[in-house]
Chain A
Amino acid sequence: MNKNIVLKAENINKYFRVPTLFHVLKDISFEIEKGEFVSIMGKSGCGKSTLLYILSTMDTDYNGALFLDGEDLSHKSADQLAFIRNQHIGFIFQFHYLLQEFTVLENVMLPAKKLGIKSLEEIEHDAIEKLRLLGIADQAKKLSMRISGGQKQRVAIARALINKPSIIMGDEPTGNLDSKNSEIVFSILKELSEEEKLSLLVVTHDIDFAKKTNRIIEMEDGRIIS
């Protein structure tokens, strides 16, 4: 297998059984190379989120094979997958998912503390570094419920970066932001991919943004059409 492939999906099929049997993902196969910025587009309801949950290992109820850095993930236990998510996958949600009662800094540090490789001082140093990279270092000590939506999404990106993951996935990360904040978040992601050689897979509805990425995957009715 090509050393440069970060993520590889092979013939992924998924069915929802309730309320009726529904073939939501059909023979999904694609690869993402290291440092590639890939966007996924498609009509609402075509299965983008469902695919992303599978790729991020949170959903294990599917057929097919999934490889991260060449490692087969399809038969791993829930605990092993949790560990892989922690170390190798950064996830950015559409809604700003932060722990409300924790400070911005604590939110960013959390995955690194969980990983438990670095010392607390190193983690804190890294976290402040990431916040600075995203231009919100001044918010570090605030409770995360007391900052604006755009800032929250940047905190979420900082959190996704903290463990130097192999790939960052985003499900409409700008979908809930105004155009100015969307632009900021998007340009940060673009910068990360170019300067830090980060691999990115982002679902978006915004065709202008998608055009600026390296590659667009188009989906329709659970299939990749181009």
Chain B
Amino acid sequence: MNYPLIFSIAKTHLVSRFKQSAVAALGVTFGIGTFITMIGFMTGLNDLLDGLVLNRTPHVHLYNEIKISEKQPIDFITNPAEELSIVRSVQPKFNQIRIHNALPILDFLNKDKRVKGAIPQIKVQVFYKAGAVNLNGILNGIEPLQEDRLFNIGDYVIEGNVQLLKNTPSGIILGAGVADKLKLSLGDRIYISSPNGALFQLKIVGIYQSGLAEVDDIQSYVNVKMAQRIMGQSESYITDINVKLHDLALSVDMASQLSQQFNVSAIDINAANAQFDTGTSIRNIITYAVSITLLIVAGFGIYNILNMLIYEKMNDIAILKATGFSGKDVQYIFITQAMVIGIIGGSLGLIVGFLLSVLIDNTPFKTEAVPTLETFPVNFDPVYYIIGIIFALIATFLAGYLPSRKAKNIDPVEIIRGQ
């Protein structure tokens, strides 16, 4: 097989039908360009949303759940296998919200090699007070710098910062909704009342905005010590432990192991955020479906144009065969044309897709949900560019294959006789 010769014949055919070749190539360009743009945008969005969840959600969350005892008192004196006991109107047993032995657990976790960090949290129900107004609220007692290192709380502090909280024992990072309702701003003071009625004055060192109104209207952050003081508890009073692992995949195993070992409730990140996976895969399906549809349309364009070309080139095919080109040679001439269209159109598509992506990447986009975001997120992962060009090559190969087979099987005698 003489590829340079076959290629030069294919090239001459393409160049002498420049307009049609260009239209066919542009079809591919359109398909691939759209694919690259859409996939970059969609996955950029996915990564952002996933990142949001992954960044601020603990991989394993330990807490004490209020729940009904599995073994009711009657079960201690009867044998459930022999007797049926019915207990109506079961109430949960009084359970302390605190985690038993929280400090040793934290110690233990922080020594574990799989753990990137385990930090305490103290949840306190309070009222924000302003004159006669009492607003329901939740204070989270945190270790500001650790919380930022592991769960990026700093990304959501839109005024002030976490360092200030660390430096100010009676500081508070106030939920944006609360600040808004009480007309408070950075540097102001706020009174809160504890569950047992004690009043505390706190200094606002930051404003926190997650983008979720129901969170921002309620939640604020203080130092661990402050939270314990408000509760009137010692430093062993810890209600939650948040764990970040080096490997996210271990979170399920880790959660069940910890829950058994320490007799606490443990929830892993997958269970907490199952719905995000669904959103991601649906967006991916849409992207691929649209792109494949466009490529099929482009493929039909190539198919049509090559079919037409083969009818126009019957004489050429007969001459080539009469002068010693085999059916395969002729087939390769036309497949080569399809592939050239695919390569040029596909490469242009990658460039167009890239330029559009850059354009989108630079389009201003502000959202309350993600205060750190300035422009639309776009993913420039080269993998999608490779997928795109492979798509283009497969589509054009299929579109060129059928017409080229016809060319291969043309009987030169019929053409020559037909004149």
Contact = CB atoms under 8 A, between A and B. Distances in A.
Contact of A101 (B13, B320, B417): B13
B323 A93 contact: no
* SS of B interface (majority): helix
B328 interface: yes
A58 B324 contact: no
Interface stretch (B42-50, B250-258, B311-319): B311-319
Contacts of B417: 49, 53
B13 A56 contact: no
B327 interface: yes
Nearest to A54: B413
Contacts of B326: 78-79, 82-83
B323 A113 contact: no
Interface string B297-329: 000000000000000000110111111111111
A111 interface: yes
A87 B323 CA distance: 9
Contacts of A30: none
Contact of B321 (A58, A98, A101): A58
A83 B321 CA distance: 10
A113 B5 contact: yes
Contacts of A59: 413
Interface residues of A, number: 30
A177 to B, nearest CB: 15
B323 A114 contact: yes
B321 A82 contact: yes
Interface in A72-88: 78-79, 82-87
A209 B243 CA distance: 102
A186 interface: no
B322 A79 contact: no
A15 interface: no
A85 B323 contact: yes
A111 B315 CA distance: 16
A15 to B, nearest CB: 15
A93 B416 contact: yes
Contacts of B16: 101
Interface in A100-116: 100-102, 110-111, 113-116
A130 interface: no
Nearest to B419: A95
Given A94-B419, A99-B316, A114-B5, A86 B324 contact: yes
12 contacts: A78-B327, A79-B327, A79-B328, A85-B323, A86-B323, A91-B322, A93-B416, A100-B316, A102-B12, A110-B323, A113-B5, A114-B323
